[in-house]
Chain A
Amino acid sequence: QKEVEQNSGPLSVPEGAIASLNCTYSDRGSQSFFWYRQYSGKSPELIMSIYSNGDKEDGRFTAQLNKASQYVSLLIRDSQPSDSATYLCAVNTGSGAGSYQLTFGKGTKLSVIP
């Protein structure tokens, strides 16, 4: 069974600090990786997508991918109280060309303390 694992948290960081969120996945053939933010009672919102090894930066967010270790992470710099949410890691685990199946981790709850 294809799995995506995340620490459930809660992860508490002080305002202005770097929050580091981690995710591991079991399907070595996975090609696409996504980070979503979900506020309580709201639907998931896409923050980052990453497809190749290395870092990808977008504003205060940096996604890191290491396919050899089957590991993807999200760094949030200068964390703000508004970043407090559950962060979901999602992996395209479908087989074959053009597959779109996403498998989600259970999410890490982040609390940024003012």
Chain B
Amino acid sequence: SAVISQKPSRDICQRGTSLTIQCQVDSQVTMMFWYRQQPGQSLTLIATANQGSEATYESGFVIDKFPISRPNLTFSTLTVSNMSPEDSSIYLCSVRTDFGYNYGYTFGSGTRLTVV
């Protein structure tokens, strides 16, 4: 399965600042997905990042707040902009992984963000 390197693993940030999270995949993938997991909650899809086109954002998430770059087929970044304490979450990137006739979605190790 694909191996995803995500960084930073954690950060503590001041409100009003921005943080850029990076994901590097060890193989070329068409789509990369960005999720948020708020404390005690499940995963919520933020956006889908395609190489060469604008990211597709889910309801409740906007590009100005969560700009995404996808410069090539192995790399993507998610920026959390103008942060507030409500943005404190774990942010995860994910890619589809094929296992013969089966498939699944592999996650990076996550970025634990605390906004103070």
Contact = CB atoms under 8 A, between A and B. Distances in A.
Nearest to A35: B104
Interface residues of B, number: 23
Say whether chain B's binding surface is mostly helix, strand, loop, or mixed: strand
A29 interface: no
Q: Which 4 A-B pairs have the closest CB atoms?
A: A46-B104, A43-B107, A104-B42, A106-B42
Contacts of B96: 100
B31 to A, nearest CB: 6
8 contacts: A43-B90, A43-B107, A46-B106, A49-B104, A88-B43, A100-B48, A100-B105, A103-B45
Contacts of A90: 43, 105
Contacts of A44: 43, 92, 107
A34 B105 contact: yes
A43 B110 contact: yes
